[in-house]
């Protein structure tokens, strides 16, 4: 276990020195903050424009109070705008995180093989299993830190917003999705170039198999981890759903890592 941690720490160190990755993370975070601000601003604009309209109507009608119809209109307008922006925001944050995850996990082992640094590491008493698990763990820690940072940014910049109840599960589900993507990308990167592995990993899990489709249990599926649809459709997620999805993700990651270990054990490392 100690060796796995040492490799993980080294992996984190390596990731934090990659300018491209840091650039991707910053860009993703900047987009998240940008959308949070836009969401807050839009809410203010709608509120103000609606107040102006109501004031005009009221002054014509000689009343000071918002009618029940106006209130309903206002609420509908607010809900619709909020839902659209939250769904869009989720998509942006999720896509950014996915790109970061794909970059981290598809290059974790592949870049060590390409640069030849793996030869020195594996000449030490480090097994291939420890090496691969350490690399994955390092990626998980960086992704967790990134997910937390993204969530703090949302809390800070979208604090005036009434968020959909589904959104509260979004960071966790997003994180699960990224780990699934990452494990698949890591496995594929042991067979092919990391860029192709990343594209395939991204495409492979975006088939829209629902929970009731048998393919859901055979092929990777990220669909239910994307709260975009729940936000748009206004459906709710309960704790049971989230627990099931978490188990599905854990199961998926374990299978992908086992396959990656099987491949890595026999892989030529020069």
Partner 1 sequence: MTAIRTENLSKTYGAGRNGTETAAVRALNLEVREGEIFGFLGPNGAGKTSTIHLLLNLIRPTSGTAYLFDRPVTETAVHRRLGYLPESVNLHDYYRGRALLDFYAALCGVPANSRSARVTELLKLLHLEDAAEKRVSKYSKGMAQRIGFAQAMLHDPDLLILDEPTASLDPVGRKEFRDILLELKRRGKTVFISSHILSEVKTVCDRVAILQNGELKRTGTLQELSANKKTKLVVKGLPAPVMEALAITAAEVTLVQGLATISCPDEELRQTVEQLLRQHGVEIVRTETGTQSLEEIFFATITPPPKL
Under the rule (CB under 8 A), what is the footprint of partner 1?
Answer: 3, 6, 10, 13-14, 17, 115-117, 119-127, 266, 268-270
The CB-of-115 to partner 1 minimum distance in angstroms stands at 5
Determine the length of the chain: 270
162 to 39, 205, 227: CA distances (angstroms): 10, 31, 16
Q: 239 or 268, CB closer to partner 1?
A: 268
DSSP-derived secondary structure for 216-270: HHHS---GGG-THHHHHHT----HHHHHHHHHHHHHHHHHHHHHHHHHHHH----
Phi/psi at 17 (5° precision):
-100, 5
H-run or E-run covering 32: helix 19-61
The CB-of-112 to partner 1 minimum distance in angstroms stands at 9
Q: 65 or 268, CB closer to partner 1?
A: 268
Q: 136 or 202, CB closer to partner 1?
A: 136
Structure token pair of residue 45: 């604009």
The CB-of-145 to partner 1 minimum distance in angstroms stands at 18
The CB-of-158 to partner 1 minimum distance in angstroms stands at 35
The CB-of-136 to partner 1 minimum distance in angstroms stands at 17
Give the CA angle between residues 26, 30, 33 to the nearest 5°: 140
Q: How many CB atoms lie within 10 A of CB 53?
A: 13
The CB-of-130 to partner 1 minimum distance in angstroms stands at 8
Q: 61 or 268, CB closer to partner 1?
A: 268
Q: 9 or 195, CB closer to partner 1?
A: 9
Q: 85 or 131, CB closer to partner 1?
A: 131
Helix 68-108 × helix 194-204 angle, to 10°: 140
């Amino acid at each position: 276990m100690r060796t796995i941690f040492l490799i993980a720490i080294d992996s984190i160190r390596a990731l934090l020195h990659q300018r491209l990755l840091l650039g991707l993370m910053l860009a993703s975070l900047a987009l998240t903050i940008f959308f949070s601000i836009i969401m807050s601003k839009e809410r203010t604009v709608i509120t103000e424009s609606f107040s102006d309209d109501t004031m005009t109507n009221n002054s014509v009608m000689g009343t000071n109070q918002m009618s029940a119809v106006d209130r309903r209109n206002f609420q509908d307008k607010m809900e619709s705008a909020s839902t659209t922006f939250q769904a869009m925001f989720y998509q942006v944050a999720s896509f950014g995180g996915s790109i970061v995850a794909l970059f981290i996990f598809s290059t974790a082992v592949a870049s060590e093989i390409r640069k030849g640094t793996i030869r020195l590491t594996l000449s030490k008493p480090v097994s291939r299993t420890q090496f691969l698990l350490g690399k994955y763990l390092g990626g998980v820690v960086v992704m967790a830190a990134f997910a937390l940072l993204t969530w703090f940014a949302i809390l800070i910049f979208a604090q005036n917003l009434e968020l959909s109840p589904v959104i509260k599960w979004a960071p966790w589900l997003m994180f699960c999705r990224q780990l699934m993507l990452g494990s698949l990308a890591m496995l594929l990167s042991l067979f092919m170039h990391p860029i192709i592995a990343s594209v395939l990993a991204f495409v492979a899990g975006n088939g829209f198999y629902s929970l009731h489709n048998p393919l859901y249990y055979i092929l990777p599926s990220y669909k239910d981890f994307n709260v975009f649809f729940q936000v748009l459709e206004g459906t709710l997620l309960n704790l049971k759903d989230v627990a099931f999805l978490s188990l599905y993700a854990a199961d998926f990651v374990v299978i992908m890592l086992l396959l990656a270990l099987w491949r890595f054990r026999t892989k030529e490392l020069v």
